[in-house]
Structure 1
Amino acid sequence: MSPQPSAKGTVPFGPYRTWYRVTGELGAGRPAVVAVHGGPGSTHDYLLPLARLAEDGWPVVHYDQLGNGGSTHLPDKGADFWTVELFEKELDNLVRKLGIADDYVLYGQSWGGPLCARHAMGRPPGLRGLVVANAPASYPIWLQEMARLRADLPPDVQETLRRHEAAGTYETQEYLAAMRVFYDRHVCRVQPWPRDFLSSFMEIYNDPTVYYTMNGPTEFHVIGTLKDWSIVDELDAIETPTLIVSGRHDEATETVVRPYKDRIRGARWEIFEESSHLPHLEEPERFREVLTDFLKSL
């Protein structure tokens, strides 16, 4: 069970609202850790275990990105609205509105990883550390690796996926069951799925506007606005101390993650041998040890 929040609320973001929760006391000595979730179009729920860092003195901020969870939903907005720049501005706004812009750490998971990396490229003076967890630096590379992992699925699962994809029937139970085979291998190896992860998983489908627009209908089909997006050539600009996290069985394979290690000077890369895409849920004790060690080093 995650610690109870010390504060919840929303901050204005232009005409919209960004929902957040704080665990611990901001400004009490150690930098705040801002948890930036994946998707795009997921919610903070599956990252709630990070709130335990507050027990060791690091206040933790969770938030729901615009379009999902407790933040403003905008189902009528099109692809020209849902841009990487929008979410960069939202993160900048949140850090300033919460009064932590002079002392904070970013933890970006999955899509949150390149989002936080883009933030770090601006070299904000108050950013003390960056954690890039299970994250792509290039969606073209992500798609190549996704095709490779998919080819290793059982033949009957592949046949089911192909049949429904040809028909566009992504929401049938048979297709979702076939996708679950992939998820159980490469997204979350804990059975049954933890409640917090299940909450975020369901939230994507409660309002799929952002996920469908920027990603596409499934993990295999990044046909949205991110399909050609890459930050590989920009990573050299990051000077923030950086920890890279991935799982041995991760859908974000070593090929997907490697640009962060190769391009960010001094970056440390920890691979969790028993994990896929969610080491904080799959190997929680070692994860906490690794993350706390990094935070103490800053």
Structure 2
Amino acid sequence: MKKIALIIIALSTCLFACKQADKTSASPEIALSTFFKDSVAGVKTGGIQMVQISTPKGKFNVWTKKIGNNPKIKLLLLNGGPGATHEYFECMESFLPAEGIELIYYDQLGCGNSDNPKDTAMWSLPRYVEEVEQVRQALKLDSSNFYLLGHSWGGILAAEYAFKYQKNLKGLVISNMMMSCPDYGKYANEVLAKQFDPKVLARIRAIEAKGDFTNPEYMGLLMPNFYGKHICRIPLDKWPEPLNRSFGKINQSLYVTMQGPSEFGIAGKLLKWDRVADLPKLSVPTLSIGGEFDTMDPKHMQMVAGKVQNGSYLYCPKGSHMSMYDDQETYMTGLIKFIKGVNVGEKKVAL
């Protein structure tokens, strides 16, 4: 009997050890020296790589920069605007690298450090999708490691990329962007507009009716009454420097062509964009992020997570459009949990 008991104990110990080994191999810890090692041959550039892309109007260069090195988790970031820069994502450096998540910044064509052809014909959603695919190929990202996060306009681009190329993705994050621009416009008019002082709203509408968007009074009214309440709920004079720096570099040609002249509602080429009916086609693990005070309806964002095949929803109760700043702990904790969950095989992650 003692021999049988010893055998059972030995087998149990072995089984436990095997399970622990499986866990370790599924989610390996990366040594600091490995994570930050620059393995690029030749002259080091701090992770910066210029990627040449082909377009109907010729070849151009777009700017990318990676922070960290994890063969299993590579997060490519698509900025919003349209026409802003990667710079407002810099807050992620305070959270994600410490968790072994490799960050990849990328300025889309016409943005930041990338070439600017100054041709409105280039500001096209299908063309940008092909640009992202060319960047993916150049950076050697694939379904074993490629996570794509799109924020605001970047969320439209990320979703559109996934509809065509989800086979290349390991995980998708749609941050603070509804999947229907008509619904976004409706939310702005029927929900957000009603939160304005009626006199302020009337003056904003009067300026818009004249098309007088360069009038200083226009942004003077929008900044405290809209941007400070629904874009970033940190006092305007204390907005984070990376956010101000990024917004200060917005390509107005790109912004107005795609979005229209104001964040308060939508116009431009994206006016009729609507992909809600197609959401069930997405099988890649998808995280949808919404904020209570966002310009985007948080209930719509929850709906997105319910309609895709493998959806997770992150709700930021203190957050607005820039929830990565004004509800930072909720945003970063949820994002990290989602990525790590997908990395160990979870398709839906409880947040």
Q: State the TM-score, normalizing by the size of structure 2.
A: 0.78
* Offset, 1:146: 0.9
Higher helix share: 2
1:63-95 deviation digits (Å, cap 9, x = unpaired): 1111111111122x23x4321111101111111
Contact 1:36 1:44 in 2 (8 A): yes
Does the C-alpha gap of structure 1 residues 85 and 199 become closer, same or farther in structure 2, counting only changes over 3 Å?
same
**Is the CA contact 1:145–1:255 (under 8 Å) kept in the aligned structure 2?**
no
- 1:91 has 2:132 as partner: yes
CA displacement at 1:234 relative to structure 2? 1.6
Determine if the alignment matches structure 1 residue 241 to structure 2 residue 281: no
- Which of 172, 178, 181 is matched with 1:130 structurally? 172
Q: Where does residue 150 of structure 2 map in the other structure? A: 108
State the 1:285 CA deviation. 2.1
Q: Could you tell me which of 173, 189, 206 is aligned with 2:233?
A: 189
Using the aligned pairs only, state the percent identity: 28
**Which residue pairs with 2:86 in the alignment?**
44
1:167 counterpart letter in structure 2: K
Output the CA distance in 2 between the equivalents of 1:83 and 1:170.
23
Q: Secondary structure at the match of 1:136?
A: coil
Output the amino acid matched with 1:112: G
Instruction: Give the structure with higher Rg (CA).
Output: 2
Measured after TM superposition, the shift of residue 213 of structure 1 is 0.7
- Tell me by how many angstroms 1:255 deviates: 4.6
Structure ranking higher on relative contact order (CA contacts 8 Å, 6+ apart): 1
The aligned counterpart of 1:277 is: 321
Structure 1 gaps, min length 5: none
The partner residue of 1:154 within 185, 197, 216 is 197
Change beyond 3 A, Cα 1:258–1:131: same
**Secondary structure, counterpart of 1:225 in structure 2:** helix
Question: Residue 31 of structure 1 corresponds to which residue in structure 2?
Answer: 73
Aligned-partner Cα distance in 1 for 2:134–2:204 = 40
Contact 1:105 / 1:127 at 8 angstroms: preserved in 2?
yes
For the pair 1:68 / 2:117, whether they are aligned, the reply is no
Amino acid at match of 1:278: M
Aligned partner of residue 75 in structure 2, secondary structure:
strand
Is 1:8 the equivalent of 2:51? no
Structure 2 contact 286–305 (Cα < 8 Å) conserved: no
Instruction: Give distance in 1, aligned partners of 2:77 and 2:110.
Output: 17
Deviation at 1:33, TM superposition (A): 0.5
CA distance in 2, matches of 1:6, 1:83: 31
Q: CA deviation at 1:44?
A: 0.9
Counterpart of 2:288 in 1: which secondary structure? strand
1:56 and 1:118 map into 2 onto residues whose CA distance is 28
Aligned to 1:59: 102
Q: What per-residue deviation string (whole Å, max 9, x for no partner) do you get for residues 248-291 of structure 1?
A: 11101125424412320231111111111111111222222111
The 10-residue stretch of structure 1 (223-232 or 256-265) with the greater mean CA deviation from structure 2: 256-265
Instruction: Provide closer, same or farther for how the CA distance between residues 152 and 194 of structure 1 changes in structure 2, counting only shifts above 3 A.
Output: same
Deviations 1:204-236 (A, max 9, x none): 2xx311111111111235221110111112211
| C-alpha contact 1:135 1:256 (8 A) present in aligned 2 | no
Give the TM-score normalised by structure 1: 0.91
Letter of the 1:104 partner, please give it.
F
> Could you tell me how far apart the structure 1 residues matched to 2:265 and 2:306 are?
27
Summarize the Cα distance change of 1:218–1:129 in structure 2 as closer, same or farther, 3 Å threshold. same
Displacement after TM superposition at 1:62 (Å): 0.9
Equivalent position amino acid for 1:159 in 2? A
Amino acid across the alignment from 1:35: L
Aligned length: 289
Secondary structure at 1:198's aligned position in 2? helix
**1:32 to partner: Cα distance:** 0.3
> Which residue number in structure 1 is paired with residue 245 of structure 2?
199
Which ranges of structure 2 fall in alignment gaps of 5 or more residues?
Answer: 1-35, 37-44, 343-351
Question: Take 2:309 and 2:247, find their aligned partners in 1: how far apart are those partners?
Answer: 34
Q: 8 Å contact 2:50–2:64 — kept in the other structure?
A: yes
2:157 aligned partner, one-letter code = L
Distance 1:29 1:16 in 2: 28
Q: Return the alpha-carbon distance in structure 1 between the equivalents of residues 273 and 168 of structure 2.
A: 27
Q: Is the 8 A contact 2:288 2:314 kept in 1?
A: yes
Q: CA RMSD in A?
A: 1.8
**Alpha-carbon distance in structure 1 between the residues aligned to 2:53 and 2:315:** 36
Contact 1:109 1:133 in 2 (8 A): yes
- CA separation in 2, counterparts of 1:125 and 1:261? 19
Contact between 1:123 and 1:239, CA under 8 Å: does it hold in 2? no
Say whether 1:121 aligns with 2:167. Answer: no
Task: Give the deviation of 1:202 after TM superposition.
Answer: 1.4
- Corresponding residue of 1:227: 271
Q: Please, which of 7, 12, 18 is the counterpart of residue 62 of structure 2?
A: 18
